[in-house]
Amino acid sequence: MASSTAAAGAAQSYTYTRPSGLDGGLLGLSTSGGTTSGGPRAHPHFFSGVLTRPAPAAAALLGLADVARTRYFQPRPSAFRDPVVTCNGDRLRMESFSACGGVYARLDVLEAAMDGEVHDRGTTNVDVNGPLREALAHVGGSDPLHLAVGADELAVTTMDGAVVEKKVPLPDRWLRGFAEVQVLTAGFDPRGELAAADAVRFLRSMPRAPRGALWAVPAGRTLRLTSRPSPGAVCLAGPDRLRTMLPLLRFATALRVYGPTAGAQSGPVSSVWELELPGMRYVLTLSPGHGRGFSGEGAVLDALSTDEAAADADLIGALLSFEPRVEPDLLAERSGLTPARTKAALTQLGTSGRVGFDTAEAAYFHRELPYDPARVADLNPRLRAARALVEAGAVRLASGDTAVVLSNEQERRVRFMEGHATCTCPWWYDHRGERGPCKHVLAAGIVRREGAAAARHAGAAGAEAAR
Report pLDDT digits (tens) over 42-69. 899 999 999 999 999 999 999 999 898 8
Of 112, 170, 181, the C-alpha closest to 367 is: 181
pTM over 0.85: no
pLDDT of residue 252: 96
Residues 296-342 pLDDT 10s = 444 555 555 556 667 788 889 889 999 999 999 999 999 999 888 88
Interatomic CA distance for residues 297 and 293, integer angstroms:
8
Residues 345-369 pLDDT 10s = 887 787 777 889 999 999 999 998 7
Helix residue ranges per DSSP H, 187-338: 196-204, 301-304, 307-319, 328-335
Q: Are 321 and 400 in contact (CB under 8 A)?
A: no
Q: In a 10 Å sphere around its CB, with 0-12 CB exposed, 13-18 middle and 19+ buried, how is residue 328 labelled?
A: middle
How far is C-alpha 321 from the chain's CA centre? 19
Least confident of 121-135, 272-286, 446-460: 446-460
Work out the pLDDT band at 262, boundaries 50, 70, 90.
low
- The single-letter DSSP state of residue 77 is B
**Percentages of the chain per state (helix, strand, coil), in multiples of 5:** 35, 30, 35
